[in-house]
Structure 1
Amino acid sequence: MHTAWPETAMPVIESTINIISALLNREVTYTIYLPESTTPQSLLLLNDGQDAEALQLKATLEQQYERYGIDALMVVAIHAGEERIQEYGVAGKPDFKQRGDKAGLYSQFITEELLPAVYKETGFSSFKTTAYAGFSLGGLSALDIAWNHSGIFDKVGIFSGSFWWRSKDLTDGYTDADRIAHRLISESVSKPDLKFWLQTGTADETADRNKNGIIDSIDDAVDFIKELEAKGYTRPADIQYLEMVGGEHNPATWAKAMPKFLCWAFGS
């Protein structure tokens, strides 16, 4: 059952498009959300766009325009394919099960095929802010792509990010140094001009590798923030962290967090 939002002064128009990706060797579906009769000032790419309805994305955008006056946005919600777990991840660094081995191709698809197609389709290609966001493994993917293409992206949103993504199994001599996202930051010689928004929920999971009474998703997110700080990013100027009491690993929780992300990324 969806929440009933108030009438909005800026309706959002939704259109779904299919393109053939030579890089991914498949058809890719994406849905564009544009404010009616208004030129978008900013762009948001969103992984796992097939969940947009569960996220109440269209209604949330309309509410944010009405109540908080965020930038007029073009949102491109990219639907995941059957190989989601291979296409999402960190480019060139699959996990211990070789998941994410197509993350490099997915990154190329975003920058070389999707964005040019979107610019051509809509006629919009210049934006004040360009952000990339995603959920769970899609959040890790958004981080990796934004980190490596900071000439395109200004901000990244990571909802319940898969910061546990690791190069060794827990039973194969794993240490926290084997977390791939953390190494992406610590081993980078550069400090991209990016800002970061992270969310976790206290009920994201129940796993607690180090038995410290804190679930892994929170430990991993906090440690990731520490890596960003070690690189020279600061809170709150560059990093925002939302820990939701009772928040779960699902679109219902992420839908509740979405307005806060939108205000942070695109607030006037």
Structure 2
Amino acid sequence: MVSDLVPWAVTALGGVAYGLLLFVVADGLALIVGVMNVMNLAHGASYLAGAYLACWLADGTLTGLAVAVLAGIAAAAIAGAGLSVLLKPLAGHTEQAAVTLGIGFIASWAFTRLTGGNTLSPPRPAILDGHLSFAGHGYPVYDLTFIVLAIPLAAGMYLIVRRSMAGIRLRAAVDDPLMAAAQGLSVARIRTIALATGTMLAVTAGVLGAPVIGPGPGVDSHVLTLSLIVVILGGAGTNIRALLTSALLVGMVENIGVATVPALASFSLFLIVIAVLVVRGHRQAVSAA
């Protein structure tokens, strides 16, 4: 009986790793969309950029992986700052969505041209390239390591956004920019830092998550769609716990769905999204009545 449950446990553990990867990406998107109120549809392209960096710079060592992460952080800081300047004159979500969607398409096209449209798989660090056996079923050590790394990241983001002075200033700049400016806070600077940080999270997730979701055509759109779902289900705000819960839910549904009935995986996910949003809307309508 126990042996029959092991494959499901291994699949569920894969769902946790997948969900935590989505959490890191969605955390950056929530910061940009939910907190800074900027519609960034190029977020999936940021993940894709990080994943390609992992393929080009990682050499199967922890040092190579670290170099890819640092290169990704540097590139993301520049890209986020540039995005802030580009979007500064655009106040409406429609204009922001059109511009960032165009940036995402151009980036995806460029990566496809550079790689010939092939799906790549970066080498995992040799020390993490193995499997742990559970009753005859193997599970990648790298995925377990990612789980271990993502958990303190979730806790750290919660403390930064909800407990730190930087988080307080960020929320103040969004909630009442005029009052924040009157208190001596640079709203433009906070906006730039937030956009750069959100982009860094997506790129870093791409570097570390490339062995889980490898770079290739359509990956940026897939990651963007799932991240948007996580942010919508999580409430699109600074509630890190809600965001983490929704990311784990999406990861579980995706991973278990693909492992059991691949044709219905996306159907099941969107069915859950529809149900959650309808119930949430009904509750809000009742509360407002």
TM (norm. structure 1) is: 0.27
Structure ranking higher in strand proportion: 1
- Give 1 or 2 for the bigger CA radius of gyration: 2
With CA pairs under 8 Å and 6+ residues apart, which has the higher RCO, 1 or 2?
2
TM (norm. structure 2) is: 0.26
Structure ranking higher in helix proportion: 2
